Amino acid sequence: MKSMLFYASMEHHSNDLPWRGKYDVEYIEVDDCGRLVIEDLIEKLEKYKGRVKLVAVTGASNVTGYVNPVHKIAEWTHKYGARILVDGSQLIPHVTFDIKPSTSSKHIDFLVFSAHKMYAPFGVGVLIGPKSFFEQGSPDYTGGGTVRAVTHDMVVWNDPPSKEEAGTPNLMGVVALAAAIKNLTSIGMRNVDKHEKALTRQLINGLKKIDCIEMYCTEDKSQERVGIVPFNMKAIYHEQLAEILAGEAGISVRSGCFCAHPYVQRLMKISPEKIHNVIENPQEPKPGMVRVSFGLYNEHQEVEKLLRVLREIAKDRRRYVKLYS
C-alpha cells in the first residue's frame, strides 16, 4: 500500500504533476469562492490516519492571490503524524514569513520558492528542509559534487546539501538571489505588503465600476491575499483582451489558466463536458481569465491607467475585437 499525499485543488501544476504516480493522492476541496476547505483536510487526515506522509499546499494562490493558513494546516498535519510542504513561490516575495522552530506544532517542514519571483534571475530555486531528511537515500540527480567516495563497487554520498547539488551550481544566480533577498529585507516586507494591498484595493474598486467586467474571488474582504486580481470582460476572449491591453497601452497582463487548470475550471464553473470538448477539439477557444499581478515596482498611476484603458475598451468592445481579430 502506497503512502498518501494530500494537496489542495488550488495548486499550481508544479505542486501537482510531480507527485502523480508516486503516491496515492487526495485533493483537498475548495469552496465556490476558491478558498481551501480546512474541514475537508481534517476529515481526510482522520480517514487516512497513519498513511498520510505529506501535505503539500500553496502559501498563496497564483490565480486568486488567496493566502492559506499554512501554520494552522501544519498543526493538523503534525497531529496526524505527517509533514507539511509549503509552495511559497507566490507568497515569499510579497509578505513576511516564519517557518517557526522545529519544536513548534506550527513548524513548516519544507518550504520552496523561486528566485525569479523575487526579482532575481531565472534558473534558481530554494528548498528548505531538515538536514536529517536529506541524509536519507540517494540524490535525485547524481554526478560531480554529490559523492564523498566512489569505487566500481560502491558509492558514499556526500553530506547534504552537497549531496543534492550535482554538477556546478548556478553560482551567479545564487549570489543574485541573496542580493535580492537583502534588498527586499532592507525595504521591509511589511512595506511591500502594504503597498501591494493598496494597489489591489484600488484596482478592485475600479473594476467594480465597469459593468462588463467579471471578477473572480474578490468579494471576501476578510480573506488574506497577495496582490493578484483575476477577471474577464464580457464579449472579449481573455487572450484577446490581454493583446488589446498590450497593443493599446503597453500594459502586460497574463491570460489563460496560469498553470492551474483544475482550479480555474472550478472558479469559472466549467462543466466536465466542455473541458473534454476543448481537449478533443484543440481549435476551440480555451477557457481562461486575465490576471493582474502586482509587485513592489508598480504605482497607483499605473492602476489608474489600466482602469482608464479598460473603460475605453468596454465602451466599444466590438471595434476592439474586430481590430485585434
Which of the residues are catalytic?
Answer: 259
Question: Coil, strand, or helix at residue 228?
Answer: strand
Q: b/e per residue, 39-71, with b = 16+ CB within 10 A?
A: ebbeebbeebeebbebbbbbbbbbbbbbbbebb
Closest-CA residue to 16 (of 49, 51, 47, 61): 61
| Number of Cβ atoms within 10 Å of the Cβ of 318 | 9
The cell numbers describing 299, all together, are: 504605482
Distance CA 96, CA 263 (A): 26
What region, left, alpha or beta, does residue 280 occupy, with left being phi > 0 and alpha being psi -120 to 50 degrees?
alpha
Strands 213-215 vs 155-157: parallel, antiparallel or unpaired: unpaired
The cell numbers describing 14, all together, are: 508544479
What one-character-per-residue DSSP string does 131-184 give? Answer: HHHHTSS--SS-STTSEEEE-SS-EEEPPTTGGG--SS--HHHHHHHHHHHHHH
Question: Coil, strand, or helix at residue 16?
Answer: coil
Distance CA 100, CA 82 (A): 17
Distance CA 121, CA 51 (A): 39
Distance CA 319, CA 312 (A): 11
- Answer whether 118's CB lies under 8 Å from 93's CB: yes
